[in-house]
Amino acid sequence: MSFLSQLVDRKTALVHTKTKVTTIDGKVFTEDRTGDDVLIEKIASRNSGFVVDNQPDLVVADVLPGLLMGAQDVAGDPELLRRHGITHVLNVGHDEIIRTAADDLPIVNHHLPLLDLPETDLITVLPSCFALIDAVREVGGTIYVHCNAGVSRSAAVTIGYLIHDQNLTYTEAYARLKSLRPSIRPNEGFVKQLKLYEKRLAL
């Protein structure tokens, strides 16, 4: 048998494999391989290259009398709003939340947008947030502070309020909120600004 014939026979005997490949940006392909021959075909795309958690986050952190915080999902759940006696909602997320089911509730909505970026100037927004929270609590109301995920922006505002109202250090305020809502994680820029805010109050 000639060398060429041996190569042809060997190639014919190679195992045919078909593999599904997903790229980091969510594109899905099939890789059809037989020996050195590869056929790549796009078969689908996902909305994102990561796993999306579609479950609503309905955990409410009871921070102080009259002050609650968490994710945006709670702000659209009328049963939770009623159960917690929420009279005001402060949204510090960038996008204004459009509510439907909760629109018939006598709730006052406030929107002070913040970008969840380290360079966002948190300090200049805190006084307005604190004044609103103080005003609601002073009349016996309950305010719910949220952003999108209830992880960074609303956590930073709430930690700042604990420093302001309870005379806590950043470390103490963070630990208290973390015990109530373990998922919080203010971005590094917010952390630096809150520590600076703590030092300013101590002067």
How many helices and strands, by DSSP H and E, does the chain display? 7, 8
For position 26, what pLDDT does the model report?
A: 52
Which whole number is the average pLDDT over 184-197? Answer: 98
State residue 66's pLDDT score.
98
Determine the residue type at 114. Answer: L
Q: Which of 66, 69, 73, 26 is nearest to 50 (CA)?
A: 26
Q: Per mean pLDDT, which range of 27-36, 52-61, 90-99 is the poorest? A: 27-36
Segment among 53-62, 117-126, 140-149 with least mean pLDDT: 53-62
Q: Give every CB contact of residue 121 below 8 A, 6+ residues apart in sequence.
A: 193
- Active-site residues, by number, are 147
Residue whose structure tokens are 């609650």: 68
98-119 average pLDDT score: 80
Give the residue-averaged pLDDT of 143-148: 96
Buried b (16+ CB within 10 A) or exposed e, 116-126: beeebebeebb
Q: By three-state DSSP, how is residue 51 classified?
A: coil
pLDDT tier, 49 (very low <50, low <70, confident <90, very high otherwise): very low
Rounded mean pLDDT, 108-126: 95
The Cβ-side half-sphere exposure at 80, using a 13 Å CA radius, reads 21
Which phi-psi region, left, alpha or beta, contains residue 55 (left: φ > 0; alpha: ψ -120 to 50)? beta
Confidence label for 46 from pLDDT (cuts 50, 70 and 90)? very low
Per-residue pLDDT, 45: 46
What is the percentage of the chain residues whose pLDDT exceeds 90?
A: 61
Query: Which of helix, strand or coil describes residue 19?
Result: strand
- Percentage of the chain lying above the pLDDT 70 cut: 68
- Whether the per-residue pLDDT at 19 is higher than 80: the answer is no
- Average pLDDT over the chain, rounded to an integer: 82
Is it the case that residue 38 has pLDDT exceeding 70? no
* Torsion on CA atoms 114, 175, 107, 100, rounded to nearest 10: 70
> Is the confidence at residue 107, as pLDDT, over 70?
yes
